Amino acid sequence: MADAAPPSKSRDLDKLLLRPGNLVGPTFDPGVQLRDDLQEYARVLVVGAGGLGCELLKDLALSGFKNLEVIDMDRIEVTNLNRQFLFRLEDVGKPKAEVAAKRVMERVSGVNIVPHFCRIEDKDIEFYNDFNIIALGLDSIEARSYINAVACSFLEYDSDDNPREETMKPMVDGGTEGFKGHARVIVPGVTPCFECTIWLFPPQVKFPLCTLAETPRNAAHCIEYAHLIKWDEVHSGQAFDPDNPDHMKWVYDEAVKRAELFGIPGVTYSLTQGVVKNIIPAIASTNAIISAACTLETLKIASGCSKTLSNYLTYNGVEGLHTKVTEFVKDKDCLVCAPGVLIELDTTVTLKKFIDMLEEDPKVLMTKASITYHGKNLYMQAPPVLEEMTRSNLELPLYDLMDKIPKDVLHATGTINKDDKKSSGLRKLRVVFKGIDGVADMDVAGGA
């Protein structure tokens, strides 16, 4: 029987956590202790403080999670205010993460939210390992891929290539596009990870350069002309920064001139942001629905009060209302959540040579790699102080740096070159040293 519970502000939450049920998880133990442990020990990281992120922070705080952190690199813009309800006009220009954390803590007593105003890549990998669950409220495929790779990097496999449960870092991912949205549960090693189902996302729309330069037909053509062609002509050698308001304003002004020249209407600043940054239109009600689904799944994972979603929920409110749950299958050969890319090496290979090999390995294709081993930095490309501290390791044999262990896992972080696109990424590498007693010959991945 459930423990007798004193009156609680979280009456509805108590109905889930203090009573047994027929659809609960195998480890569910209802009672006051579970509710108290959830509030005291469960740590959740919310990635993104935009339309969906604001809803997630609010919902998680109201669902009994007291230890939250949020990370976002953006500042508040006027165009955010119609749907990102935690922000006010006086907040324009301030970091989203800081304002969102402050507003939720003002509304929900007892919750502690730590904001991080930075890029997700700026945080050390171990930062993400401190959380029990990671909730994603992102609008970028690249950002999702990065967090997915980080979470999967903590996953370890036993000698039979079965995932070890204590190393799994669950993620709950939400996304919206107008009146459509999705919520999914990712348990590395058990469910498909983001990379396993990357094909679910449609390819980004691209315009032929000849059309942009010679025969623009709509507002988006004028904006991309200013972004892709005019910017390089005027600012030779200076990279365009989509998060720099001055850069975005310049593109908007040039797009307006281009549109006037060809008699094309419809160029606005918000459309310029949407085209350049590939921003997907968002609606507040869709964000609220998807956030509710993600928060419920987070609560299920943390408490076991019900079986989790299996494993992909789609929502469509364009005409009427339609929801569907699809169970996707894990890719056993996934480069991110599978046991890792196998690389066989001689014991004499230095760390520098190993890093160079990663650029040519067809399964890795990583440049400017930083290497960590069981949380220890073997070599870091940045910041300069860490690069200098680890530089001496470059000429040492990797076998020695890995404590002469015949086979183990390394993590490499760097720039991945895939399909002529560069993006930040992380890869799990299963390194096996040849000629060591007890290590059987394996297929070489990387041509060592």
The predicted pLDDT at position 443 comes to 39
With cut-offs at 50, 70 and 90, classify the pLDDT of residue 162: confident
pLDDT higher than threshold 70 for residue 335: yes
Average pLDDT of the chain, as a whole number: 86
Task: Using a pLDDT cut of 90, give the percent of the chain over it.
Answer: 41
**Residue whose token pair is 């939720």:** 104
Tokens of 202: 């449609």
Phi and psi angles of residue 313, each rounded to the nearest 5 degrees, phi first: -100, 130
* Choice between 213 and 331, residue whose per-residue pLDDT is larger: 331
Among 70-74, 172-176, 334-338, 444-448, the minimum mean pLDDT is found in 444-448
In the chain, where the domains are located: 28-202+283-326, 209-277, 341-434
Residue 369 CA from chain centroid, whole number: 19
Class of residue 160 by CB neighbours under 10 A (exposed 0-12, middle 13-18, buried 19+): exposed
Residues in contact with 291: Cβ distance below 8 Å, sequence separation at least 6, in sequence order: 52, 55, 56, 58, 59, 137, 174
Residue 174: CB atoms within 10 Å: 28
With cut-offs at 50, 70 and 90, classify the pLDDT of residue 316: very high
The predicted pLDDT at position 444 comes to 36
CB-based contact 52:70 (threshold 8 Å): no
Domain range 209-277, CATH class: mainly alpha
The predicted pLDDT at position 43 comes to 95
pLDDT tens per residue across span 229-259: 899 889 877 888 887 889 999 999 999 999 9
The predicted pLDDT at position 207 comes to 64
The average pLDDT across 281-310 equals: 91
Question: Cα dist. 229→101, 209, 254 in Å?
Answer: 39, 8, 11
pLDDT higher than threshold 50 for residue 447: no
pLDDT tens per residue across span 365-422: 889 899 988 778 899 988 888 899 999 999 999 999 998 888 888 888 888 887 777 7
Residue 59 CA from chain centroid, whole number: 19
The matching CATH number, chosen from 3.40.50.720, 3.40.50.300, 3.40.640.10, 3.10.129.10, for 28-202+283-326 is 3.40.50.720
pLDDT tens per residue across span 195-218: 898 888 766 666 667 777 778 888
Residue positions annotated with a catalytic role: 210
pLDDT tens per residue across span 163-194: 888 889 999 999 998 899 999 999 998 999 99
Sheet of 312-316: strands edge to edge? Answer: 112-117, 67-72, 43-47, 133-137, 171-177, 180-186, 312-316, 322-326
209-277 matches 28-202+283-326 in CATH topology:
no
